[in-house]
Structure 1
């Protein structure tokens, strides 16, 4: 049996925001999906409902950005990310979710503040050079992205911490993040099924939201394609700051409520 009208009043805005994010408009919008949907169902069910929708969005995003993406960045980040998912699966019953969200949020906020400081320095004659690909940081932030994506749906900020300083072309950056999370979401299906978080009822409900998800994803991609680098990167760092701040806020509120 499908949910009632009140459920869709909450689900539609949640899917719209996540779809715009999947189109390339930043993880801050995506992080709002589960909290909004949790107004109508439990957080666990909200995460389970969104995973098939995210995969449907991935299909649309992969088609839209099929000609773009940086293979080097993907090959650097994906091994650590898949290992992070495996660790998340093995430790999901033991690691406090709110503590992880707090750590990721604080690191992301500090990362953006460092960027703001670097921009300020550049205006006083110190140029900002693109970072090079580095195996150590890629393994670290890739594993954080995979782990955070599995246990707390918070994989975007760690990806941004590694990838934004590379200063890829905006379209190549977007194509890369689309491919990265398409792989992660597909891999996450296995442990989600194993943990019993996906069932026929949830899948049917998710399917009713697929058309909206696809339209929202295409709209997000349409906007990003028209952004110049001078606009794209400040926008992305702003989205990262909002995402990090949201993680900190939600985790602190969760830790206080649990006391």
Structure 2
């Protein structure tokens, strides 16, 4: 049996926000999905309902960004991310998600503030140079992204902490993050089924939201494709700041 109208009153805006995020508009919008759905169902059910929708959005995003993406960034981050998912699966019943949200959120906010300070210093004329790839940070932030994505759908900020300083072309950056989380969401299906968080009823409910999810994702792609680098990167750092702040707020609210 499908949910009632009250469910869709919160599910529709949640899917719209997540879809715009999947199109490339930043993780801050996506992080609103589970909290909004949690107004109608339990947080665990909300996360389970969103996963098939996220995968449908991934398919749309992969099509639109199929010609873009940085393979080296993917190859650097994905091994750690797979390990992070495995650790999340093994410890799902023991690690408080709110503590994880607080940790990831705090690190992300500090990261963005550090970037803002660097930009302020660069007004003297010193350019902000792209950072090179580094295996240690890639393994660390990749594992955080995989773990956060599995336990709280909060893998975006760790990805941004590693990838934004690389200063990729905006389209290459967006294609990379789309491919990264499409891979993670596909991998997450196995442990989600094993933990009993996906069933036919949830899948049927998710399916009713697929058309809206695809439309919202396409709108996000349309907007991002028209952004210049001078607008894209300040926008993405701002969205990372809001995402981190949201995680900090959720973590503190639940813990205290």
Q: Would the TM-score normalized by the shorter structure come out above 0.5?
A: yes
| Aligned twin of 2:26 | 26
In 1: Cα distance, 2:99 partner to 2:7 partner: 29
1:12 and 2:16 correspond: no
Q: Which runs of 5+ in 1 are unaligned?
A: none
| Aligned twin of 2:62 | 62
Task: Using the TM superposition, give the Cα deviation of residue 231 of structure 1 relative to its aligned residue in structure 2, in angstroms.
Answer: 0.2
| Aligned twin of 1:122 | 122
Greater than 3 Å deviation, 4+ residue runs: none
Partner SS state of residue 189, structure 2? helix
Per-residue CA distance 1:129-157 (angstroms, 9 max, x = gap): 00001100000000000000001111000
| Aligned twin of 1:251 | 251
In 2: Cα distance, 1:84 partner to 1:130 partner: 26
Alignment of 1:185-196 (within 5 A): 185-196=185-196
In 2: Cα distance, 1:119 partner to 1:139 partner: 27
Per-residue CA distance 1:165-213 (angstroms, 9 max, x = gap): 0000000000000000000000000000000000000000000000000
| Aligned twin of 2:92 | 92
Tell me the TM-score normalised to structure 1 length.
Answer: 0.98
In 2: Cα distance, 1:8 partner to 1:151 partner: 24
Let me know the Cα RMSD of the aligned residues: 0.4
| Aligned twin of 2:158 | 158
| Aligned twin of 1:227 | 227
In 2: Cα distance, 1:92 partner to 1:197 partner: 12
In 1: Cα distance, 2:93 partner to 2:49 partner: 20
In 2: Cα distance, 1:101 partner to 1:5 partner: 30
| Aligned twin of 2:209 | 209
Alignment of 1:139-150 (within 5 A): 139-150=139-150
Task: Using the TM superposition, give the Cα deviation of residue 127 of structure 1 relative to its aligned residue in structure 2, in angstroms.
Answer: 1.6
In 1: Cα distance, 2:181 partner to 2:206 partner: 19
Task: Using the TM superposition, give the Cα deviation of residue 126 of structure 1 relative to its aligned residue in structure 2, in angstroms.
Answer: 2.3
In 2: Cα distance, 1:232 partner to 1:77 partner: 22
In 2: Cα distance, 1:220 partner to 1:37 partner: 20
Q: Which runs of 5+ in 2 are unaligned?
A: none
Task: Using the TM superposition, give the Cα deviation of residue 124 of structure 1 relative to its aligned residue in structure 2, in angstroms.
Answer: 1.2
Alignment of 1:105-116 (within 5 A): 105-116=105-116
In 2: Cα distance, 1:94 partner to 1:209 partner: 32
In 1: Cα distance, 2:6 partner to 2:108 partner: 35
Task: Using the TM superposition, give the Cα deviation of residue 29 of structure 1 relative to its aligned residue in structure 2, in angstroms.
Answer: 0.2
In 2: Cα distance, 1:54 partner to 1:160 partner: 19
1:132 and 2:159 correspond: no
Partner SS state of residue 123, structure 1? helix
In 2: Cα distance, 1:63 partner to 1:127 partner: 35
Number of aligned pairs? 256
Task: Using the TM superposition, give the Cα deviation of residue 125 of structure 1 relative to its aligned residue in structure 2, in angstroms.
Answer: 2.3
In 1: Cα distance, 2:110 partner to 2:249 partner: 15
